[in-house]
Amino acid sequence: IYASVAAKKKRTHCSPNKHIEVPLCNSGNITSLLNEDNLFLCYQPKIEIATGKLIGFEVLSRLCIQGDGFIYPDKFIPLVEDAGLNCQLTKLVLSQALSQWHLFESLKDYRLSINISASDLLSDEFINYVIDKHLANADIKLMLELTESQQTINEDRSLQAIAKFIINDIPISLDDFGKSYSTLDRLDSIPFDEIKIDKDFVSDLDKNHQHQAIVESIIALAQKLNVKVVAEGVETLSIQNHLLKMGCHSAQGYFISPPIEGRYLMSWINSYNH
């Protein structure tokens, strides 16, 4: 196995969007792997569909192990959660992304969205950390993308945490919408700023009539509740045009751009805006 992984690595150009299997990430060493030096952030643009205007970026994490390549969130997030390290991850992501946003004044035009875990909401220390960072970086527009799991979002403590963020002007995006039904009854009681339709319903939208019907109802529901809808997983112009016709506000996906490394971010923005 190791020999074939090594051979595969030799053939594969090391890119943060290419999933290279790194055999060295497991529950035994995740604690030592998760640190500032290994954390590698990419930024995926979000645009307003009707105008093409660039509105923000979602931060997507990778672990970059020197000489070994990249470890992807699908592999390391479950290990991070099991080890109880997700608040630590979010703090590292938040502070590194804020540093990136301070590098160029023009980045402050764009909203910076960070993924948080539902279990983060159970830590008062974490909530205060985020609010302090937000207050200390008032010139940067933050957003939190929350993927809720059935149990956690219904807990009073989670609802209080969400309310605290919203009161402090940190908007919340309800991530992976459509994958779970539990949020429907919460939509009228929590003023989410955005609903993000999961890519499972979007990436074959132009061919799958069932998915078209689901996306249409999510958009209609969101419009009634006055919440913006963003579709992730927009891979083609045809899908983007379908979404435009359906009245979807914004889009994210490979058709616009894959997640971009920090060092290429400004040049990507400059060429997009020209």
Interface positions with Ca ion (CB under 5 A): 115, 145, 147, 175-176, 198
Report the residue from 25, 34, 55, 60 that binds ligand C2E according to the rule CB under 6 A.
60
- Mask of contacts with ligand C2E, 66-85, x by CB under 6 A? ------xxx--x--------
Q: Would strands 250-251 and 228-231 be described as parallel, antiparallel, or unpaired?
A: parallel
The piece of 20-28, 219-227, 231-239, 240-248 that touches ligand C2E (CB under 6 A) is: 231-239
Q: How far is CA 10 from the centre of its chain?
A: 30
* The only residue of 87, 93, 172, 214 in contact with ligand C2E, by rule CB under 6 A: 93
- The single residue among 22, 43, 55, 61 that binds ligand C2E, judged by CB under 6 A, is 61
Query: From CA 144, how far away is CA 175, in angstroms rounded?
Result: 9
Rounded to an integer, what distance in angstroms lies between the CA atom of residue 119 and that of residue 126?
10
User: Shortest distance, CB of residue 134 to ligand C2E, whole angstroms?
Assistant: 17
Tokens of 214: 């689901």
- With CB under 6 A as the contact rule, the residue among 33, 34, 176, 214 that binds ligand C2E is 176
84, amino acid identity: G
What's the CA gap between 263 and 98, in Å, rounded?
14
CA distance 273 to 52: 9
Tokens standing for residue 236: 């083609």
Q: Which chain residues interact with ligand C2E by CB under 6 A?
A: 44, 60-61, 72-74, 77, 89-90, 93, 115-117, 145, 147, 175-176, 199, 203, 232-235, 253-254, 259
